[in-house]
Structures are given as structure tokens and as C-alpha cells.
Amino acid sequence: MDERNKDLPLIVSEIVIEMHEMKEGIQEMRDDMRGMKSAIEQMASLMLKQQQHTNHMFHSLMEENRKNTEFMVAAFREEAQATRQRLDDHEGRISTLETR
């Protein structure tokens, strides 16, 4: 073998070993990425469920708020009508007294 090429088999074998190690490293990275992807998908699913629950709770609170507001408006309206009736009665009495 030529003096310049005597180390060639050693160099080629080292390159092949490094390429094999790189291939294993790449495969490990792919496996890790799959695991991360799965974890991210699970987290996204959980976050979506949490957001849906939060939206449901928000809509429930808004509906209860609407019902409470309607109830309060109806109660104030009834009280205002009763007060208006008492004022009308007092005005009627005052008018009667003034005409006497």
C-alpha cells in the first residue's frame, strides 16, 4: 500500500463509526421529538378542555346575572308603581281638600 494511503482504512472506519453514532443520535432526537409532540398535544387538549369549562362557567354566570337583573328590575318596578299609586292617592286627597 502506498505510504500516503496506509492510514486510509483507519480513517474510513472512524468515519463510519461516527456516521453510525450520528444516526443513533438523530434517531434518539426523533424519538424525543415524538414524545414532546405527544406531551404538547396532551397539554393542548387539556388547555382546550379547561377553556371550554371556563367558557361554560362564564356563560352560566352571565345567565344568572341576567335573571337576577330581571328580578331586581321587576321588584323595583312593582315598588315604583306602589309608590306612584300612593303619590297619586295623596295628590287626590290634596286636590279634594283644596276644592273644599
With pLDDT > 70 as the criterion, what percentage of the chain qualifies?
98
Which pLDDT score is estimated for 1?
53
Alpha helices in 1-100 (DSSP H): 8-99
Write down the mean pLDDT value for the chain: 91
Q: Between the CA of residue 40 and those of 27, 37, 72, 88, what are the distances in Å? A: 20, 5, 47, 70
Q: pTM (2 decimals)? A: 0.53
- The x, y and z cell numbers of residue 88, run together, are 297619586
Range 22-31 average pLDDT: 90
Phi and psi for 33 in degrees, rounded to 5? -65, -40
Residue 22 neighbours by CB distance under 10 Å = 10
- The x, y and z cell numbers of residue 14, run together, are 472512524
